[in-house]
Amino acid sequence: MNSVSPSAAQYVGGVMQDELVDRGRQQQPMERQGSFGVRPPQTQDASREAAGEPDEMDKLKAKLMSAWNNVKYGWTVKSKTSFNKMSPVTILGHSYLLNSEDEVERFRLAFVSRIWLTYRREFPQLEGSTWTTDCGWGCMLRSGQMLLAQGLLVHLMPRDWVWPESQQLTDVDFEVFRPRSPARAGGVPIPSFGSPRGSSTPEKSLPSSQAPRCSQKKRVHESTKDRQEHIHSRLVTWFGDQPPAPFGVHQLVDIGKGSGKKAGDWYGPSVVAHILRKAVDKTSVVTNLAVYVAQDCTVYKEDVVRLCDRSLNQTSSDPSSQDWKSVIILVPVRLGGEALNPSYIDCVKNFLKLDCCIGIIGGKPKHSLYFIGFQDEQLLYLDPHYCQPVVDVSQINFSLESFHCSSPKKMPFNRMDPSCTIGFYAKNKKDFESLCSAVSEALSSSKEKYPVFTFVEGHSQDYGLEGHSSNHSGPPAHILPPGRLGRSNNRRSSEEFVFL
């Protein structure tokens, strides 16, 4: 194993993580009782405890665990990811057949342009703790950040936006797999990638009458590109590891205190969904956007309408004003008992084929991941388990390289943990109606008689993160459709991950 930079090899690969699982399991019973072990008896310095300040034992534990995790997640095992040239790869509603250089290039741009958010070290101390890193405990928060970042990208940027400075893919093989057999044909060398910036296609000479028009189009294109890059950089600053960043780990941890979570704790995909909603609600940096979190695997359409339709909440005299907010819909679900129910695999694939899908936060057991696509029976993901130095995003022209990943990774569907949160985005009311129709059709593809979740008319009381209504007032409604109470209780008791 060698220490690597983000540009060389950007993941802590699954190989290393698996090697450390057995070691981590020995600590698990103690870890579940606190941040990283059992707290000593709280018989002294009661005033410090009342103020939420860590005691000396907690400080020592945090320092030791920080040092260990910085080493553990700062190393990587290089392993190549193989893609079948004869099967399409799907990334968030777009498919790529990797049998030509043009398609490989489109796939590269689509993958590398996703915002990649990982563990960081040496950031300002989290309030009420000694933590200056989220290594070892913040992976679900990072996965949630990536899901929200994708929602903000489609909210603020054109659907076909790609990062023009994107790196070349690394540690990837494109091969022809034999059908219905685990054996592979001989590996085919990875095609050469032409850099978007390095294109040396000679320009054709144009008549003088067309030159001014082409020059004007070029200036417009460059202006649009500059504006999009400004938005791109600004969006990344919102996830910076400084206390003021609206979607940074400092803010998310602070919001999580409302659900009894603190720095050093592990977070489940359902809790993170509510934290993201709260983070968007309390900031003013993003306009015309709301986040709706489904309750008990049910999306209540009237709740979404009340959240998004401004005309129901205020009188607008300007007919040209936008009366409908864009919406990110987050649906916490459980796709089986202790393991993924295979009957839901086709349904998950169909979600990821939708343009309105912004990804899934979940992972494999004890290992949070952000799923963005699939090929055949393998999920494609971004992994937050790589510890990088903090980046000062307040600096002008800070480097964006460490916020984009060039090493695609895959894992089998059958290793997916059943607890996850699925994200969708609708730009306007028409898009929301199309979303309901498309997602309902995807839900119907499940071989299981119980759907992953449902859309229903009417509304439900929104318990949110604190356990009471926060979006609207009104008489309490039934939270669950008839006959689903028992299933929901079982789901709620086992919705969270335990991470190592």
pLDDT, tens digit (0-9, with 9 covering 90-100), for 306-338: 999 988 865 444 444 468 999 999 999 999 988
Residue 58 in this model has a pLDDT that exceeds 80: no
pLDDT, tens digit (0-9, with 9 covering 90-100), for 235-275: 999 999 999 999 999 999 999 999 899 999 989 999 999 99
Instruction: Identify any residues that bridge with 454 across adjacent strands, giving them in sequence order.
Output: 298
Residue 409 in this model has a pLDDT that exceeds 50: yes
Active-site choice (135, 139, 356, 420): 139
Given a contact cutoff of 8 angstroms between Cβ atoms, the answer to whether 177 and 187 are in contact is no
Given a contact cutoff of 8 angstroms between Cβ atoms, the answer to whether 247 and 234 are in contact is no
The pTM (predicted TM-score) of the whole model is 0.75
- Domain ranges in the chain? 2-37+53-176+226-313+323-493
Q: Is residue 139 annotated as part of the catalytic site, yes or no? A: yes
Task: Please give the Cα distance from 359 to 355 (Å, whole number).
Answer: 10
Half-sphere exposure of 414 (CA within 13 A, CB side): 2
pLDDT value of residue 471: 43
pLDDT value of residue 333: 96
Q: How confident is the model at residue 150 (pLDDT cuts 50, 70, 90)?
A: very high
Q: Amino acid letter at 124?
A: P
Portion of the chain with pLDDT greater than 70, in percent: 65
Active-site choice (241, 254, 303, 383): 383
pLDDT, tens digit (0-9, with 9 covering 90-100), for 419-432: 999 999 999 999 99
pLDDT value of residue 77: 53
Task: Please give the Cα distance from 332 to 329 (Å, whole number).
Answer: 10
pLDDT, tens digit (0-9, with 9 covering 90-100), for 110-146: 999 999 999 999 999 999 899 999 999 999 999 999 9
Active-site choice (232, 250, 274, 385): 385
Q: Which tokens hold the place of 112?
A: 């590398």
Residue with tokens 């309902």: 440
